[in-house]
């Protein structure tokens, strides 16, 4: 039988992927969802940055949870998130300066992303290190796969490309400019939430009828 | 270990220690990374200038196009073939940076440029352009041929426009319209009030007598505000540059105007700066 912490880690990770998914369950991180998803490449980089920030922040906050006074915990959490986001920012400026130039505005936005602070306050602040790290990583991955799905639809319909490469299309060769504008993100996000929740309801109904 | 984390003294000490540790981490990271970041910025800006000045590698007497050059090669071309000087607008005293690209090498003693090639070796001039875009400031350079009549290229080094829309000013489709083969005129217009027009009009529909003829750049679809912003500050910066160029007697042709009356040049006769 696996140790309790490992079991909790697995549960925490899986919950963030689907049952408590930050985007379509908790409806968190919507600002960046609207801002970055018109290009798959930009979205992918934003997701990598967010996975790093949620994972490392959760790990650090969990490590310090016994020592952090309750009345200053939010300040400490924001400080920790900022440090890890600045690490991402500096690393990109050193090793990937061209990419940084195209998404620098979004990297800074990770600090204010509700998902990161939300997971620290809701989970990492109260749970062991391994489980908290798994929770943070799961939240990042759960956010990422929804974002990538939205970006795929928006870039394909808006530019007729995928990751910047021309993609074949059965439709008339007309780009839907609205898809790369913020309203396009609202439409696709709403559809994504609808599809995911609809699937979830069907799955639960099937489970209940089976039991 | 049983710690009373609610004690005021503990809260103060803990907060101070945690802040000091994380702040020190960031400061150390910045100190370590700053040289590399500054070097990246230098290469980025020098590459931008080299690419628009020496796009035609053969005519510029370069072994390969700048786009295929390594970081070291770009820095070498910039150091050996580009001379930075300043021009002054006589009416306002505004100082404009001017980068001149040459077919042959400038002469150096250490870091100091001691002689520049003859004017026949000039392949083009570049000036800085900047203004406020739809979201954020936009910065870049525009290059002109040796006669200061036609565009050689444009590059944007800073912008925060909408990805996929206004940000397309950095893409080839927009920038290619400024390439030498498109013969985009930028010299002071004989009629009309703009050096260059960036509009939704179809290039083929522009009548020959229109001031827009040969000065037209296609606007970016869905990014009208960015296109208008770029047109405005490029025209402003070009008008300022031409006033200074006329005063420095760089501009030998073109219609005279009272505001652009020549005054004694303030361009340094001996090279002093090349960054």
Q: Do B18 and A76 touch (CB under 8 A)?
A: yes
As a whole number of angstroms, the distance between CA A13 and CA A123 comes to 12
Contacts of A85 in chain B (CB under 8 A): none
Say if residue B111's pLDDT is above 80.
Answer: no
B64-91 pLDDT per residue, tens? 888 888 888 999 999 999 999 999 998 8
Q: Do A38 and B14 touch (CB under 8 A)?
A: no
Cβ distance A52 to A115 under 8 Å? no
Q: Which residue of B has its CA nearest to A160?
A: B164
- Confidence bin at B261 (pLDDT 50/70/90): very low
**What's residue A6's pLDDT?**
59
Say if residue B5's pLDDT is above 90.
Answer: no
Report which secondary-structure segment, H or E, holds A166: strand A165-166
CB-nearest to B11 from A36, A71, A181 is A71
**What's residue A7's pLDDT?**
58
B205-257 pLDDT per residue, tens? 888 888 888 899 999 888 889 999 999 999 999 999 999 998 888 765 443 34
- Confidence bin at B1 (pLDDT 50/70/90): low
Q: Do B10 and A83 touch (CB under 8 A)?
A: no
Cα–Cα nearest to B31, from A171, A90, A10, A20: A90
Q: Do A177 and B221 touch (CB under 8 A)?
A: yes
**Token pair in block for residue B26:** 């960031």
Q: Which residue of B has its CA nearest to A92?
A: B37
Q: Which residue has the higher pLDDT, A200 or A130?
A: A130
3-state secondary structure labels for all residues of B78-143? HHHHEEEEEEECCCCCCEEEEEEEECCCCEEECCEEEECCCHHHEEEEEEEEEEECCCCEEEEEEE
User: Measured at the alpha carbon of residue A106, what is the angle toward residues B132 and A122, in degrees to the nearest 5?
Assistant: 145
Characterize A165-192 residue by residue with b for buried, 16 or more Cβ atoms within 10 angstroms of its Cβ, and e for exposed: eeeeeeeeeebebebbbeebbeebbeeb
CB atoms within 10 A of CB B111: 9
- Confidence bin at A210 (pLDDT 50/70/90): confident
**What's residue B135's pLDDT?**
85
CB-nearest to A94 from B19, B33, B162 is B33
Taking the Cβ of residue A93 and every Cβ of chain B, the question of whether any pair is shorter than 8 Å is answered with yes
Beta bridge pairs of residue B154: B142
Q: Please, which residues 152-211 of chain A have a Cβ atom closer than 8 Å to chain B?
A: 158-159, 177, 180-181
Please tell me the distance in Å from A78's CA to the nearest CA on chain B.
Answer: 11
β-pair type (B216-218, B197-199) = parallel
What's the average model confidence in pLDDT over B196-200?
Answer: 90
Say if residue A48's pLDDT is above 80.
Answer: yes
Beta bridge pairs of residue B131: B138
Q: Which residue has the higher pLDDT, B272 or A22?
A: A22
Mean pLDDT estimate for chain A: 85
B122-157 pLDDT per residue, tens? 999 999 999 999 988 999 999 999 989 999 999 999
A12-41 pLDDT per residue, tens? 888 887 778 877 777 777 777 777 788 898
B239: number of CA atoms within 13 Å, CB side? 17
As a whole number of angstroms, the distance between CA B125 and CA B131 comes to 20
Give the contacts of B135 (CB within 8 A, at least 6 positions apart).
Answer: B160, B161, B162, B166
Say if residue A54's pLDDT is above 70.
Answer: yes
**What does residue B110 show for φ and ψ, rounded to 5 degrees?**
65, -130
Please tell me the distance in Å from B32's CA to the nearest CA on chain A.
Answer: 10
Per-position DSSP letters for chain B, written without gaps between them: ----TT-HHHHHHHHHHHHHHHHHHHHHHHHHHHHHHHHHHHHHHHHHHHHHHSSSTTTTT-SS-GGG--HHHHHHHHHHHEEEEEEE-TTT--EEEEEEEESSPPEEETTEEEE---GGGEEEEEEEEEEE-SSSEEEEEEEE-TTSSBEEEEEEEE--PPTTTGGGGGSHHHHGGGSGGG--B-SPPSSSS-S-EEESS-GGGS-TTSTTTTSEEEPPTT-HHHHHHHHHHHHHHHHHHHHHHHHTT---SS---GGG------S-SS-----
A108-132 pLDDT per residue, tens? 778 777 888 888 998 999 999 999 9
User: Measured at the alpha carbon of residue A19, what is the angle toward residues A13 and A20, in degrees to the nearest 5?
Assistant: 75
Q: Do A90 and B37 touch (CB under 8 A)?
A: yes
3-class DSSP assignment, residue A180:
helix
β-pair type (B137-144, B122-132) = antiparallel
Reported ipTM exceeds the 0.85 cut: no
Interface A–B counts its CB contacts (< 8 A) at 76
What's the average model confidence in pLDDT over B249-275?
Answer: 44
Give the contacts of B269 (CB within 8 A, at least 6 positions apart).
Answer: none
Contacts of A86 in chain B (CB under 8 A): 26, 29
B151-192 pLDDT per residue, tens? 999 999 988 888 778 888 998 889 999 998 888 989 888 877
What's the average model confidence in pLDDT over A186-193?
Answer: 89
Q: Running DSSP on this structure, what letter comes out for residue A73? A: H
Taking the Cβ of residue A83 and every Cβ of chain B, the question of whether any pair is shorter than 8 Å is answered with yes
By percentage, how much of chain A surpasses pLDDT 90?
33
As a whole number of angstroms, the distance between CA B200 and CA A107 comes to 34
Q: Do B44 and A71 touch (CB under 8 A)?
A: no
Burial class (CB in 10 A: 0-12, 13-18, 19+), A66: exposed
Cβ distance A58 to A136 under 8 Å? yes
Contacts of B5 in chain A (CB under 8 A): 67-70
Cβ distance A188 to A181 under 8 Å? no
- Confidence bin at B270 (pLDDT 50/70/90): very low
What's the average model confidence in pLDDT over A136-147?
Answer: 90
Mean pLDDT estimate for chain B: 85
Q: Over the Cα atoms of chain B, what is R_g? A: 24
3-class DSSP assignment, residue A169:
coil
Determine which of A56, A97, A174 to mutate to test the interface with B (most B C-beta atoms within 10 Å): A97
B11-57 pLDDT per residue, tens? 999 999 999 999 999 999 999 999 999 999 999 999 999 999 998 76
Q: Do A177 and B41 touch (CB under 8 A)?
A: no
Contacts of B25 in chain A (CB under 8 A): 83
Q: Do A76 and B15 touch (CB under 8 A)?
A: yes
Q: Do B222 and A180 touch (CB under 8 A)?
A: yes
Q: Does the predicted TM-score (pTM) go above 0.80?
A: no
């Amino acid at each position: 039988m696996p140790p309790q912490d490992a079991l909790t880690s697995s549960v925490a990770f899986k919950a963030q992927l689907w049952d408590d998914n930050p985007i379509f369950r908790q409806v968190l991180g919507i600002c960046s969802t609207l801002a970055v998803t018109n290009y798959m490449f930009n979205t992918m980089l934003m997701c990598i940055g967010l996975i790093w920030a949620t994972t490392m922040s959760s790990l650090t906050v969990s490590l310090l949870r016994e020592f952090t006074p309750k009345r200053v915990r939010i300040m400490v959490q924001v400080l920790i998130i900022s440090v890890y986001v600045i690490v991402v920012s500096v690393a990109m400026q050193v090793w990937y300066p061209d990419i940084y130039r195209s998404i620098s505005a979004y990297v800074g936005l990770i600090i204010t992303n509700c998902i990161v602070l939300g997971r620290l306050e809701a989970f990492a602040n109260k749970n062991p290190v391994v489980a908290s790290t798994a929770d943070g990583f799961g939240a990042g991955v759960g956010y990422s796969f929804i974002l990538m799905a939205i970006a795929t639809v928006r870039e394909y319909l808006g530019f007729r490309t995928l990751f910047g490469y021309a993609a074949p299309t059965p439709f008339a060769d007309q780009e839907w400019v609205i898809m790369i504008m913020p309203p396009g993100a609202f439409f696709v996000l709403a559809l994504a939430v609808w599809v995911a929740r609809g699937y979830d309801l069907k799955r639960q109904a099937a489970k209940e009828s089976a039991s | 270990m049983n710690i009373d984390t609610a004690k005021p003294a503990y809260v103060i000490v803990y907060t101070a220690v945690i802040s000091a540790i994380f702040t020190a981490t960031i400061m150390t990271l910045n100190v370590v990374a700053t040289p590399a970041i500054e070097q990246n910025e230098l290469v980025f800006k020098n590459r931008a200038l080299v690419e628009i000045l020496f796009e035609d590698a053969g005519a510029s007497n370069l072994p390969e196009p700048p786009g295929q050059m390594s970081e070291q090669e770009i820095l070498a071309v910039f150091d050996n073939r580009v001379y930075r000087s300043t021009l002054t607008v006589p009416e306002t005293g505004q100082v404009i940076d001017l980068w001149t690209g040459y077919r042959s090498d400038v002469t150096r003693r250490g870091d100091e440029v001691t002689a520049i090639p003859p004017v026949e070796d000039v392949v083009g001039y570049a000036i800085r352009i900047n203004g406020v875009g739809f979201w954020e400031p936009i910065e870049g350079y525009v290059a002109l041929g040796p006669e200061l009549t036609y565009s050689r290229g444009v590059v944007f080094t800073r912008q925060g426009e909408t990805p996929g829309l206004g940000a397309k000013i950095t893409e080839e489709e927009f920038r290619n319209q400024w390439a030498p083969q498109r013969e985009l005129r930028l010299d002071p217009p004989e009629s009309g009030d703009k050096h260059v027009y960036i509009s939704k009009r179809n290039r083929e529909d522009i009548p020959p007598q229109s001031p827009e003829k040969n000065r037209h750049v296609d606007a970016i679809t869905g990014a009208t505000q960015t296109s208008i912003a770029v047109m405005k500050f490029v025209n402003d910066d070009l008008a300022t540059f031409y006033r200074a160029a006329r005063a420095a007697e760089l501009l030998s042709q073109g219609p005279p105007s009272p505001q652009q009356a020549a005054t004694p040049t303030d361009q340094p006769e001996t090279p002093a700066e090349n960054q």
